[in-house]
Structure 1
Amino acid sequence: MAIDFTKGHGTGNDFVLYSDPDGRATLDASQLAALADRHFGVGGDGVIRAVRSESLPEGAAALAEDGSAEWFMDYHNADGSVAEMCGNGIRVYGAYLLDQGLLDLAIGGTVAIGTRGGVRQLIRTPDGFEVDLGAFVVAGEAMVDADGLDVARPGLAIGVGNPHVVVALADESELDGLDLGAAPVVTPTPPDGVNVEFVVPGDPIVRDGVGRIRMRVHERGSGETLSCGTGAAAAALATRHWAGEGAPDVWSVDVPGGTVGVRVVPTANGDHVLLSGPAELVFSGTMKLL
């Protein structure tokens, strides 16, 4: 079979996107991995299928949560494994739906998008998109060991629709000295894997009321990526938690691929975390799959 695809990225976190509104072109894990392969395929940190919520089983939960969630972001990691959510990916997904004529959304408008992590509200901004990642959970502590660390370090588990563990490092040299080619070892071991973020504060950590951190990440199923949107949100939330009372609600997170914004806002259902940043579509083509 042949797949018409588009390549896109959000701060260097890149994806292969294809359109399958009626759910007739479901790819298996090996085909998804072939698309994402950087040597023999298109290349990307993940694959996103644009499919209507009514056209796949997981979409039933999305429609039950929000009947307006027409579109579902069917997201898989680079190895073909299923993932609940992707903060950079959902912004690129919004740009793709617009580009393909599947969505009409003015700047300032909001659309509900179904994901395996729940329905997410995506807002179009002049510079890209902002997504409401919903409520978050500070889930406890874990120990993390990684190549380049002298000893294992404590990390804070954060849930933002998918699982993360955030580790604070002493300085820039520790962050730069990490080798994230291999997955960090997290103890206790999460049953479904986990994304691991390593952060250092800016100098100063707060400027003009905005918190500032720098981050690197190893994503489960993909390896080290240039950016992770939900990871940036988790890193900001963890740093805000460690800073305690008086910590800002607005954060700027520098990742190897650029900068994203994180906001914590009160809602009727408790605090939500929002992620903002660019979404770029790079090129389109067709690939034959075995």
Structure 2
Amino acid sequence: MTGLEDKFSTLRAVLWTLLAALVFTLIFASGKFVGAEVDAVQIVFMRYLGAAVVIGAAVLWIHRGFAPVRSDVPGLHLARAVSGVSGEICIISAPLFMAYEDATSISLTNGVIAMLLAIVLLKERAGPMHWFAAMTCLLGAILIVRSQAESAAAGSNMLGIGIAVSGAVLSGAELFFIKLLTGRERPMVIMLYVNVLAVIMLAVPALLLWRPMHGADLVWLLSIGPLALFGQYCWIRAFQNADAVIVVPVGYAAIPFSAILGIVAFHQGLGAVQVTGAMLVLAGGVLLARLPATRETAAGAE
């Protein structure tokens, strides 16, 4: 690849990543868009149902059946689905109790959780810079938590903080499981299993919590499933055009995107402490994404 071609490939990757970050910024704001009228479980169910219908139809069109996409590690898919569904419910619920951009910043510390799981379970080694990046991320999250806790509606905000932190932990676990799956399964298999399993998991709770949807709420909730699949497609195209060290840091554009959305759509203001915290999460996440993950040698691991 020539230098010019390499630059265009990088530019395409950046544009695909920015589009993916924007898509998921909108999806994770679903709870704010529809308000308290629709439960977060119902929102997440609609998201996975729409995605399952689309990816299921694609599998049938391409393979004329589901046998070719059968998995040898269904338990790993189930673990990914449980953590992913639970995490997404938390991420969508948290902004109902705190500023949306703050909830997003806290949730983006999931990379630190994924790193810790990789160190403990996969025996990956973390150097001083890995720990510095992780601590920078966590310091930013702590500043945001402190800012929220000291505001007038402290009780409500503390609930939001707990939910946001839970979302970060669970989505970090999902990233870890995705890491394991990507070396064993094709992307279509991974997308099919998580969406179908999520629908099965959420069917009964969603039915029990079901509230009628009308007008713009109904249109939005019917759209987020295909929109989420498009976001996943954007990530895939981004990684096809550039390495993770370029793509992943650009994904932290979700922080300024969420800040802009919070100001424009939800009329939320930003304080100096919140901005500082978000920038620390952004800086730590970008640094963490650009550092190589290393393993202990086979002898050392044994």
Q: TM-score range by the shorter chain?
A: under 0.3
Structure number, greater radius of gyration? 2
Instruction: Output the TM-score relative to the length of structure 1.
Output: 0.23
Instruction: Output the TM-score relative to the length of structure 2.
Output: 0.22
Which has the larger share of helix?
Answer: 2
